[in-house]
Amino acid sequence: MHWIDPESLPETRGKVTRFLLNPHGEIDGFVLGARQIHVPPHLSKQIARHVAPGDAVSVRGVKPRGADMIAAIALTTKSGKVILDEGPHHGGEKHHKPHVDHKPMDASGEVVLSLFGPKGELRGALLDDGTSLRMPPHAASELASFLSPGAHVHAWGHGTKNRYGCTIEVDEIAELIDEADAA
C-alpha cells in the first residue's frame, strides 16, 4: 500500500486498548476504542517498540466495505513518530515469519468484536478475555453467527501466547448455552 498518500486518507484517533496477534505471534492489529485497526505483520516490531495499550494514537487508512475496521497505511504515535506502511520489502529487508510452537489451546467467552482481514474479509473474533480466534475466510463466513458480537462460544485449536496477546487458530467452535436458559 506504499503507493497511497496517507495524508489524503481520513484520520481516526483514539486509545489503543489491546493488540491483536496473527498465528505467528506477531502484532497484526490493535483495537482502537471499539474498532479493529489492521496493520501488516511486517510492522509488528515497530508497533511493539513505539505503541503500548493505553496510548493515544492517530491512524490514516482505508475502510473496506461491509467491515467496521481500518486497514492502516500510517500510524502516528503519542510521541509524534510516524509508522508508515512502505510494503514488506522496503529497505531491502525481507519479512520473515517467526517460528512459533503452537500449543493445543481452548478458550471460551463472549465475542466482543468480529475480526477482519485487510480487505474486509471476516477472519475471526475477539473474546472478552482478549483471546483472538482466527480462521480462514471461507470457514469464518460459514460461522459468521459464532463470530458476531454478543455470541458466547467455546473454541478449540492450536495457538500461541506472548506478552502482546493470545491467538488461537480454530479447529472447532461451539456456541455456549447458558444452563439457566436451557432449563
Residue with cell 455456549: 176
**Per-domain boundaries in the chain:** 6-92, 103-182
**Cα separation of 25 and 43, whole Å?**
13
32 and 15 Cβ atoms separated by less than 8 Å: yes
**pLDDT tens, residue by residue, 145-179:** 999 999 999 999 999 999 999 999 999 999 988 75
pLDDT digits (tens, 9 = 90+) for 128-144: 999 999 999 999 999 99
List pLDDT tens digits, range 45-94: 999 999 999 999 999 999 999 999 999 999 999 999 999 998 776 554 55
CATH 2.40.50, applies to 6-92: yes
Same fold, 6-92 and 103-182: yes
Q: Which CATH number fits domain 103-182: 2.40.50.140, 2.60.40.420, 2.130.10.10, 2.40.50.100?
A: 2.40.50.140
